[in-house]
Chain A
Amino acid sequence: MVHKVLSEQGAGGITTTAIRIRESGIERRARFRGLAEPLSLLVALAVLIGVFSLLNERFLTASNIQNVLTQSAIPLIVAVGATLVILLGSIDLSVEGVMGATGMTWILLSNNSRGGADLGPWAWVIALGVALLLGVASGLIFTALKVPSFIVTLGMWYVGLGIATMLYGTDLLPRLEDEGLKGWTSRISLGLPNSFWVALLVIGLGILVLRNTRIGRVTLAIGNSETIVRSAGLPAFPVKVAVFAIAAVLSGLGGILATVQLDIGSPTVGSGVLFIVIPAVVIGGTHLGGGKGGILRTVLGVFLLTILNNGLILSGVESSYQSAVTGAILVAAIVFAAWSQRDRLRVAK
């Protein structure tokens, strides 16, 4: 929008040429920098794939690729929401709790070994409704009560886990009995696993929302400067609530798919997802301070981490080292990204 206004003014014949040359220089450099980061990620991905396929011939087989895609589907879906929240400059720690609550609601309302009602598609609606409620609650507490998002979503993590534990009760484990749904996530249609198709759909919608809707534009603007957004009269308050709601619904969707994948309902169905999603968003190059970044970069980040873990396991590295590898990559990525911008007067939070 800003660019359009600037170029229209330029066409209108403003003669401050020096300023315009400088501006176009800055713009060109910004565009290069915007391309350089994803490019370095793509190179890293290509190197990883090359090394692993040399180390192990099983790595590049169709079944392993499908395996990697299935593994990356749930983190991808959750990471789209997490990216939106981080673009606001906030953080969503509640994903694992929301996944637990939604997954448990869904399986108890579907055809499961505990019996009870089988609501079919309504189970999806109600379960995602639970996620939506949790998200709106986070968003409202964050905006109306001005409690930092770190704390709200930390609390909401426990609340979600609590709801899941209460629904779980003391009965036997609820097992999925619907034969059509069992193993649906890893089943292949048109060459790709079903859950990955869902992830692609979510990524596409996410990009559309971020680029082409008011919510998306205002989200980026809030991340850049909330003061300016508010003084421009843009709807900061409702957009923040909407972003938290979207993120929670996507976490919920991830929770349902994870439950289908696991075949049984468990309050801790989402455990470990947060430690993939947030590093993936950061490795992708989205700034934790908000305003800069995007969904496609996050997708690259998720792929980098899943391929790395998959390849290391195939190469016979013990799974104890997995979190160290994710951690080391995260540290390397942020130090690499920040190194050129070091400055005595810079403040990095």
Chain B
Amino acid sequence: MTKIDSERTKVAVPARGKLPSVKRIGGWHAVGPIVIFLAILIVVAILTPAFIGSGGLAIIASSSAPILLLALGQAMVLNVGSIDLSNAAIGLLGAILLALTLGPVAGLSPVIVLLATTAFGAVNGLIVAYAQVPSFALTLGTLGIFQAVALVASGRTTVYVASNGEGIHALYESGIANVPMTFWMGVLLAVSLWVLLRYTRVGRGMTAIGKNESAAIFSAVRTRSLKVLAFALSGFAAGLAGIAIIAQAGSASPTGLGSDLLLPAIAAALIGGTSISGGVVNPLTVIFGALTVALVPIATTAVGIDAQAQSLVYGAVIIGVVALTMSRNKSSIVK
């Protein structure tokens, strides 16, 4: 009996309540991602000063661009309490479609690709919202379908951009402050999503769904169309990631650059303070989540850890960072 009572009091007083300064700027999960990124960066800077001096930050930013774009889309879907396991496959399919169509239709190609990937995302959303199926299982299924379409469309080989690739490639070659435009594209998307979530009825509705879907339904939030929108945004962001892949590599293949971005992108969204059960997201800190994910392999090499241990360190960092930044209380159920 006393145990239950003590648990109740703990629920009533949030654990982080004692730190008003942290709370004012949005809680630990708002600053955590930035602090962790800076901490890892400082360690790298001390151990290998040459790396930071020779444009290392620009390298991290440019390699994080596709991860960032996918993570932002994923964060929007996680925010409504769902998950999109197919977004990396949609992004790769987008890259393949872009490489195939850039020759024949030139300037129209990115538009077509973005429309197509947004539509793919919307189809996911429509099935999740209207057939009321679990998003994890549904997007696992559509992941398989998109993968197969990518394999068939590319004929199992690398598709090179035949002509008209200069405009897209310029996104990677040109940049602001030595950082390629592909990364700034991600930052721009993050800021737009932040405005959407913070200042619009649509964004507020999405967060409401993630916090408590039943309550959102009873408050006349248009839960179904907002879910479709969240998945469509994920498809749109995946299309942008496809463009970033082509800008960087000039080619796309079902097994090449971008084929294993699903888990790093989910990790980036989570390290960026997104709650996996929904209702908590900040696109601006997701930027730092993506940067951290890109930094970890570089940091392990800088610290002198064997290259073979990289994925071990990567796994441990994901668990550790999420354990550190998560908000939890004693009586909550974690699945």
Ordered by A's residue number, 5 sampled pairs between the chains whose C-beta atoms are within 8 Å are: A169-B308, A278-B137, A279-B140, A326-B141, A334-B137
Which chain A residues lie closer than 8 Å to B127 at the CB level?
A: 331, 335
Within 8 A of B (CB), among A321-349: 321-331, 334-335, 338-339, 341-349
Beyond A88-B335, A155-B316, A162-B309, 15 extra complex contacts between A and B, CB < 8 Å: A97-B315, A147-B326, A151-B322, A155-B319, A158-B315, A162-B314, A278-B140, A321-B152, A328-B145, A330-B141, A331-B138, A331-B141, A335-B133, A338-B131, A345-B214
B270 within 8 A of A: yes
Interface digits, B152-191 against A, CB 8 Å rule (1 contact, 0 not)? 1000100000000000000000000000000000000000
- With A320-B151, A334-B141, A344-B217 known to touch, is A155 a contact of B318 (CB < 8 Å)? yes
- With A147-B334, A347-B213 known to touch, is A282 a contact of B314 (CB < 8 Å)? no
Q: Is the interface of B mostly helix, strand, loop or mixed?
A: helix
Q: Is A148 in contact with B314, judged by CB distance below 8 angstroms?
A: no
Q: Is B316 in contact with A159, judged by CB distance below 8 angstroms?
A: yes
Closest to A142 in B: B334
Q: Find B147's partner among A89, A91, A166, A323 (CB 8 Å cutoff).
A: A323
A65 within 8 A of B: no
B332 within 8 A of A: yes
Interface digits, A131-157 against B, CB 8 Å rule (1 contact, 0 not)? 000000000011001111111101111
Q: Find B132's partner among A97, A150, A155, A338 (CB 8 Å cutoff).
A: A338
Determine the distance from Cα of A343 to Cα of B132 in the docked complex, in whole angstroms. Answer: 8
Determine the distance from Cα of A142 to Cα of B323 in the docked complex, in whole angstroms. Answer: 10
- With A327-B143, A334-B138 known to touch, is A321 a contact of B148 (CB < 8 Å)? yes
B228 within 8 A of A: no
- With A146-B334, A155-B319, A162-B313 known to touch, is A331 a contact of B142 (CB < 8 Å)? yes
Q: Find A346's partner among B82, B132, B311, B333 (CB 8 Å cutoff).
A: B132
A129 within 8 A of B: no
Q: Is A148 in contact with B335, judged by CB distance below 8 angstroms?
A: yes
A38 within 8 A of B: no
Q: Is B333 in contact with A227, judged by CB distance below 8 angstroms?
A: yes
Closest to B145 in A: A327
Which chain A residues lie closer than 8 Å to B156 at the CB level?
A: 320
A118 within 8 A of B: no
B80 CB to nearest chain A CB (Å):
10
Closest to A148 in B: B276
B263 within 8 A of A: yes
A203 within 8 A of B: no
Determine the distance from Cα of A90 to Cα of B82 in the docked complex, in whole angstroms. Answer: 15
Determine the distance from Cα of A341 to Cα of B133 in the docked complex, in whole angstroms. Answer: 10
Within 8 A of A (CB), among B70-108: 81-82
A178 CB to nearest chain B CB (Å):
26
Determine the distance from Cα of A161 to Cα of B308 in the docked complex, in whole angstroms. Answer: 10
Determine the distance from Cα of A88 to Cα of B335 in the docked complex, in whole angstroms. Answer: 8
B176 CB to nearest chain A CB (Å):
33
Which chain A residues lie closer than 8 Å to B147 at the CB level?
A: 323-324, 327
Which chain A residues lie closer than 8 Å to B128 at the CB level?
A: 348
Determine the distance from Cα of A159 to Cα of B312 in the docked complex, in whole angstroms. Answer: 4
Which chain B residues lie closer than 8 Å to A226 at the CB level?
A: 333
Which chain B residues lie closer than 8 Å to A338 at the CB level?
A: 131-133
Q: Is B308 in contact with A330, judged by CB distance below 8 angstroms?
A: no
A306 CB to nearest chain B CB (Å):
15
A311 within 8 A of B: no
List 4 A-B pairs, minimum CB-CB distance, nearest first.
A162-B312, A327-B144, A158-B315, A324-B148
Which chain A residues lie closer than 8 Å to B328 at the CB level?
A: 146
A329 CB to nearest chain B CB (Å):
8
Of B127, B133, B214, B267, most A-chain CB atoms within 10 Å: B133
Which chain A residues lie closer than 8 Å to B263 at the CB level?
A: 154, 157-158
B64 within 8 A of A: no
Closest to B277 in A: A148
Within 8 A of B (CB), among A283-298: 288-290
B158 CB to nearest chain A CB (Å):
15
B116 within 8 A of A: no
Which chain B residues lie closer than 8 Å to A288 at the CB level?
A: 134, 136-137
Determine the distance from Cα of A61 to Cα of B138 in the docked complex, in whole angstroms. Answer: 35
Which chain A residues lie closer than 8 Å to B132 at the CB level?
A: 338, 341-343, 346, 348
Q: Find B266's partner among A97, A146, A154 (CB 8 Å cutoff).
A: A154
A73 within 8 A of B: no
Q: Find B308's partner among A157, A165, A348 (CB 8 Å cutoff).
A: A165
Q: Is B145 in contact with A324, judged by CB distance below 8 angstroms?
A: yes
B248 within 8 A of A: no
Q: Is B315 in contact with A145, judged by CB distance below 8 angstroms?
A: no
A287 CB to nearest chain B CB (Å):
8
B149 within 8 A of A: yes
Within 8 A of B (CB), among A173-202: none
Q: Find B311's partner among A158, A227, A342, A344 (CB 8 Å cutoff).
A: A158
A348 CB to nearest chain B CB (Å):
4
Determine the distance from Cα of A299 to Cα of B4 in the docked complex, in whole angstroms. Answer: 41
Determine the distance from Cα of A147 to Cα of B325 in the docked complex, in whole angstroms. Answer: 10
Q: Is B322 in contact with A147, judged by CB distance below 8 angstroms?
A: yes
Determine the distance from Cα of A347 to Cα of B143 in the docked complex, in whole angstroms. Answer: 23
A100 CB to nearest chain B CB (Å):
10
Which chain A residues lie closer than 8 Å to B310 at the CB level?
A: 162
Closest to B143 in A: A327
Which chain B residues lie closer than 8 Å to A290 at the CB level?
A: 335
Closest to A90 in B: B335
Determine the distance from Cα of A155 to Cα of B213 in the docked complex, in whole angstroms. Answer: 28
B306 within 8 A of A: yes
Q: Is B326 in contact with A327, judged by CB distance below 8 angstroms?
A: no
Q: Is B140 in contact with A347, judged by CB distance below 8 angstroms?
A: no
B292 within 8 A of A: no
Determine the distance from Cα of A227 to Cα of B331 in the docked complex, in whole angstroms. Answer: 9
B135 within 8 A of A: yes
A163 within 8 A of B: yes
A275 within 8 A of B: yes
Which chain A residues lie closer than 8 Å to B322 at the CB level?
A: 147-148, 151, 155
Determine the distance from Cα of A90 to Cα of B276 in the docked complex, in whole angstroms. Answer: 13
Which chain A residues lie closer than 8 Å to B333 at the CB level?
A: 226-227
Q: Is B217 in contact with A345, judged by CB distance below 8 angstroms?
A: yes
Which chain A residues lie closer than 8 Å to B270 at the CB level?
A: 151
Of A89, A146, A344, most B-chain CB atoms within 10 Å: A146
